[in-house]
Amino acid sequence: MAGKAQKAAQFDVKEQFEAVENQFQTLQILNEEGEVVNEAEMPELSDEQLQELMKRMVYTRILDQRSISLNRQGRLGFYAPTAGQEASQLASQFALEKEDFILPGYRDVPQLIWHGLPLSQAFLFSRGHFKGNQIPEGVNVISPQIIIGAQIIQAAGVALGMKKRGAKSVAITYTGDGGASQGDFYEGINFAGAFKAPAIFVVQNNRFAISTPVEKQSAAKTIAQKAVAAGIPGIQVDGMDPLAVYKAVSDARERAVNGEGPTLIETLTYRYGPHTMAGDDPTRYRTSDLDNEWERKDPLVRFRKFLEGKKLWNEDMENEVIERAKEDIKNAIKEADAEPKQKVTDLMEIMYEEMPNNLKEQYEIYKEKESK
Amino acid sequence: MAQMTMVQAINDALRNELKNDPNVLLFGEDVGVNGGVFRVTDGLQKEFGEDKVFDTPLAESGIGGLAIGLSLQGFRPVPEIQFFGFVFEVMDSIAGQMSRMRYRSGGRYNMPITVRSPFGGGVHTPELHSDSLEGLMAQTPGLKVVIPSSPYDAKGLLISSIRDNDPVIFLEHLKLYRAFREEVPEEEYTLPIGKAAVKREGSDLSIITYGAMVHESLKAAEELEKEGHSVEVIDLRTIMPLDVDTIIASVEKTGRAIVVQEAQRQAGIASNVISEIMERAVLSLEAPVLRVAAADTVYAFSQAESVWLPNYKDVIETAKKVLNF
Ligand SMILES: Cc1ncc(C[n+]2csc(CCOP(=O)(O)OP(=O)(O)O)c2C)c(N)n1
Ligand SMILES: [Mg+2]
């Protein structure tokens, strides 16, 4: 009996979980009112940088709105809305250098655009045209991953490659709260940890994987704490706070390029729109109360307030960005429209370095068909 | 009798089996509250409770492994893989584990699992949502592979699949989900796994096909009839095991055959069918047996899929080669 009691004292489950919970508090710098609540963590950003980040968020919100309406008009194909996730997506990309490599999920098109992917290609990707995936030389990204989680372990590979080459850069990958349930997620953070590879794993926890609430994904209270099992740092940030996201990613980047290995970052965020534009109906699984609660945390609203308080932002600046975004989108759609429809022979040409005989034979047949 | 789409017929079959057998469990990504991304499981969680119909964490390998474990506990799992292009994530559970469990355990354990999954092209999905990967399943000993082409068949075959004591891969063509309605009895009925259906009788040519290509083939047969050709169309319905008897009887009657599949030429089931014909009925043939299939590329990016996918015109073209041989 005495032995049993002693054992219980040594291993108290409740205590263990309390300790975990205490370690994973949400990092916030700007609150919903745009007030700095955590001066100590304030990242070093110039006024111009702060303005640039705001411009990107406004621009991307417009891009989202336009993409949704273009999709409804049948002028875009597959599209996963991004509104609500701007801080999480753009402030994380903002902390990167050009040579850092992004491995995105299907919702992470904005990061690619700000990392250098031309908008017209983003539209071609949406339309299901292979030209959208032909990443220009010097843009260090891969096209959005459709298979949830596949990019995560690949990021460990990119990062290990960078380490072997002695590069001072990082691989960053994005997934969602659902994606963090895939085996590839655990393998990815574990491999990167084992190899001390310069990787950053961002899990954008927008509370839902299509209809499935995050509470159903795992018994763990946070996704950030999963880092502990992999032996790497993990941090949870307010994903509606651009400064907190920026800070977490730039710290992670610094550790990574200094040889200290990978970091897992969980951003708490929300997607305002449907899962994708292909028939998802959020009213089946979300309440409008929850929607409203999260819209009050909006990243643009709080960052605007913050910048206005510093006299760094005004309506004219905002309108200028909106007009520029609309203009860019119009031009990019034109460019995408000008791209010739892809042919089956185009697809045959990109299958192998050299066409095997089965394809060579079929190529002739399709060439003939396409010439009619 | 009621007019049902394939989605409704499958939903009806699932409801029937949940009522019929307390060991039936439905699970997968978004199958609960959301009723599945195509609403195939609509209303079932509400009706049968979360104990029977539940969402899983997002992991296909997890879903497969869970099905195996639940089978070891005497349940009859009906897991859903949200799109069959994600099957690669659960390939070990399917091809390395559940297909072998009966054999491995010397018959001690069986896996009465029905893996349901939508597949097939023509609806402009992103990559890896439309691929015809049934060939991978059909070449895996220990699995049965069922692909219905109509609401009526879907209901009867799904009930049979769920009641089958071995693993069945039940593939639902995306384009057929809501393509048309037909009379489907509200009461339960079963259709035998491994039995093809003669969709249309004819004496000059046998078209052997399955899935969405059944409809392209029927359309082709109608056109060919206008030109005086009498064409028989066989819907395999089950691609593993093949209904060799029906295939051979037809070919012996017509002396000419083509096999139509949506999958790439190098993949899929057509080569199997043709081998069976060569081994069993070569002397009945008046012409070589030809294939209609997609090109040997990865499933086409959506903007090119309408050209890439075989259609009734391709069927007519190939049929004429064989008819005029
Ligand atoms: C391997 C795999 N399984 C399932 C899907 C289908 N699917 C697409 S998005 C999604 C939910 C993902 O949720 P989450 O990871 O939280 O990302 P979010 O969409 O919320 O950004 C699912 C199940 C897929 N694309 N790939
Ligand atoms: Mg999510």
Instruction: Compute how many other C-beta atoms are within 10 angstroms of the C-beta atom of residue B158.
Output: 28
Query: d(Cα A295, Cα B280) in Å, to the nearest integer?
Result: 68
| Angle, helices A150-164/A183-194, rounded to nearest 10 degrees | 10
For chain A, how many structural domains are there in total?
2
- Of A108, A210, A269, the residue with max ligand 1 atoms within 8 A of its CB, to mutate for a pocket test, comes to A210
ipTM reported for the complex, 2 dp: 0.96
Q: Which residues contact B143 (CB under 8 A, 6 or more apart)?
A: B94, B95, B98, B99, B137, B166, B167, B168, B169, B240
- Model pLDDT, residue B1: 82
CB A189 within 8 A of CB A264: yes
| 3 state SS of A30 | strand
* Alpha-carbon distances, residue A222 vs A193, A198, A214, B282 (angstroms): 19, 23, 10, 65
- Asked if A181 is an interface residue toward chain B (Cβ–Cβ < 8 A), one would say yes
Q: What is the DSSP letter of A266?
A: E
**Chain A residues close to B266, C-beta within 8 Å:** 358
Annotation says A129 is catalytic: no
- Model pLDDT, residue A4: 55
B248 φ/ψ angles, rounded to the nearest 5 degrees: -70, -40
Query: d(Cα B282, Cα A148) in Å, to the nearest integer?
Result: 47
Active-site pick, A61, A115, A253, A271: A271
Instruction: Test B57 with A178 for CB contact under 8 angstroms.
Output: yes
Residues B281, B170 share a domain? no
- Apex A187 CA angle, A183 and A193, nearest 5: 150
Rg for chain B (alpha carbons), in Å? Answer: 19
Residues B271, B176 share a domain? no
Domain that holds residue A348: 342-371
Beta bridge partners of A145: A105
Cα B69 to middle of ligand 2, angstroms? 27
Query: d(Cα B267, Cα B74) in Å, to the nearest integer?
Result: 35
- Of B27, B55, B58, the residue with max ligand 1 atoms within 8 A of its CB, to mutate for a pocket test, comes to B58
Residues A365, A336 share a domain? no
For A135, the token pair is 């990443």
- Given B155, B184, B213, the domain boundary residue is B184
Residues A360, A307 share a domain? no
Q: Within the 58-87 window of chain A, which residues sit less than 8 Å (CB to CB) from chain B?
A: 77-78
Partner residue facing A342 (CB), from B32, B61, B301 = B301
CB A211 within 8 A of CB B35: no
Neighbour-count burial of A189, counting CB atoms closer than 10 A to its CB (0-12 exposed, 13-18 middle, 19+ buried): buried
Cα A275 to middle of ligand 1, angstroms? 9
pTM of the model: 0.97
Query: d(Cα B63, Cα B43) in Å, to the nearest integer?
Result: 21
Residues B266, B177 share a domain? no
Instruction: Test B300 with A347 for CB contact under 8 angstroms.
Output: yes
Domain that holds residue B172: 2-184
Q: At CB < 8 A and 24+ separation, what contacts does B137-142 make?
A: B137/B94, B137/B95, B137/B169, B137/B240, B138/B239, B138/B240, B138/B269, B138/B272, B140/B94, B140/B95, B140/B99, B141/B99, B142/B98, B142/B99, B142/B100, B142/B102, B142/B103, B142/B166, B142/B167
- Model pLDDT, residue A293: 98
Residues A162, A289 share a domain? yes
Residues A176, A211 share a domain? yes
CB B211 within 8 A of CB B237: no
Query: d(Cα A317, Cα A93) in Å, to the nearest integer?
Result: 22
Q: Is residue B191 part of a domain?
A: no
- Model pLDDT, residue A8: 55
Residues B175, B225 share a domain? no
Ligand at shortest distance from the CA of A81: 1
- Given B162, B184, B206, the domain boundary residue is B184
Partner residue facing A351 (CB), from B125, B265, B297 = B297
Of A15-19, A99-103, A295-299, B208-212, which gets the smallest average pLDDT? A15-19
Assess whether the C-beta atom of A146 lies below 6 angstroms from ligand 1: yes
For chain B, how many structural domains are there in total?
2
Query: d(Cα B182, Cα B307) in Å, to the nearest integer?
Result: 29
- Apex B228 CA angle, B225 and B231, nearest 5: 45
For A367, the token pair is 């060439």
Residues B82, B160 share a domain? yes
Instruction: Test A344 with B124 for CB contact under 8 angstroms.
Output: no
Cα B306 to middle of ligand 2, angstroms? 32
- Given a cut of 90, whether residue A5 has pLDDT beyond it is no
| 3 state SS of B80 | strand
Assess whether the C-beta atom of A107 lies below 6 angstroms from ligand 1: yes
- B279 membership: H or E segment, kind and range: helix B270-281
Ligand 1 atom at shortest distance from the alpha carbon of A177: 16
**Searching chain A, which residue's CA lies closest to the CA of residue B302?**
A128
| Dihedral, CA of residue A100, residue A106, residue A110 and residue A112, to nearest 10 | 30
Query: Could you report the per-residue pLDDT of A124-158, keeping only the tens digit for each?
Result: 999 999 999 999 999 999 999 999 999 999 999 99
CB A160 within 8 A of CB A195: yes
- Of A86, A92, A148, the residue with max ligand 1 atoms within 8 A of its CB, to mutate for a pocket test, comes to A148
Residue of A145, A147, A205, A275 to mutate for B, most B C-beta atoms under 10 A: A147
List, in sequence order, the alpha helices (H) in B53-131.
Answer: 60-72, 91, 101-104
Q: Is residue A348 part of a domain?
A: yes
- B44 membership: H or E segment, kind and range: helix B44-48
* Alpha-carbon distances, residue B256 vs A155, B37, B262, B278 (angstroms): 53, 42, 20, 12
Closest C-alpha to ligand 1, atom 6? B82
Q: Which residues contact B132 (CB under 8 A, 6 or more apart)?
A: B119, B120, B121, B211, B261, B262, B263, B264, B267, B268, B294, B299
Residues B123, B20 share a domain? yes
* Proportion of chain A above pLDDT 70, given as a percent: 98
Q: Is residue A214 part of a domain?
A: yes
- Asked if A218 is an interface residue toward chain B (Cβ–Cβ < 8 A), one would say yes
- Asked if B47 is an interface residue toward chain A (Cβ–Cβ < 8 A), one would say no
CB B93 within 8 A of CB B61: yes
Beta bridge partners of B27: B54, B79
Residues B160, B205 share a domain? no
| 3 state SS of A216 | helix
Q: Is residue A9 part of a domain?
A: no
Q: Is residue B13 part of a domain?
A: yes
- Model pLDDT, residue A10: 77
Q: How confident is the model at residue A9 (pLDDT cuts 50, 70, 90)?
A: low
Beta bridge partners of B169: B115, B145
- Model pLDDT, residue A1: 46
Nearest alpha-carbon partner for B122 in B176, B83, B190, B170:
B176
- Given B184, B209, B225, the domain boundary residue is B184
Annotation says A271 is catalytic: yes
List, in sequence order, the alpha helices (H) in chain A.
Answer: 2-10, 13-23, 47-72, 86, 92-94, 109-114, 119-127, 150-164, 183-194, 226-230, 242-257, 288-295, 299-309, 315-338, 344-349, 357-371
Closest C-alpha to ligand 1, atom 13? A209
- Given a cut of 70, whether residue A6 has pLDDT beyond it is no
List the CATH number of the domain containing B267: 3.40.50.920
Q: How confident is the model at residue A372 (pLDDT cuts 50, 70, 90)?
A: confident
| Average predicted confidence (pLDDT) for chain A | 96
Instruction: Test B295 with A366 for CB contact under 8 angstroms.
Output: yes
Nearest alpha-carbon partner for B143 in B260, B238, B270, B269:
B238
Show pLDDT as tens, one digit a residue, over chain B (325 residues): 899 999 999 999 999 999 999 999 999 999 999 999 999 999 999 999 999 999 999 999 999 999 999 999 999 999 999 999 999 999 999 999 999 999 999 999 999 999 999 999 999 999 999 999 999 999 999 999 999 999 999 999 999 999 999 999 999 999 999 999 999 999 999 999 999 999 999 999 999 999 999 999 999 999 999 999 999 999 999 999 999 999 999 999 999 999 999 999 999 899 999 999 999 999 999 999 999 999 999 999 988 899 999 999 999 999 999 999 9
Instruction: Test A284 with B29 for CB contact under 8 angstroms.
Output: no
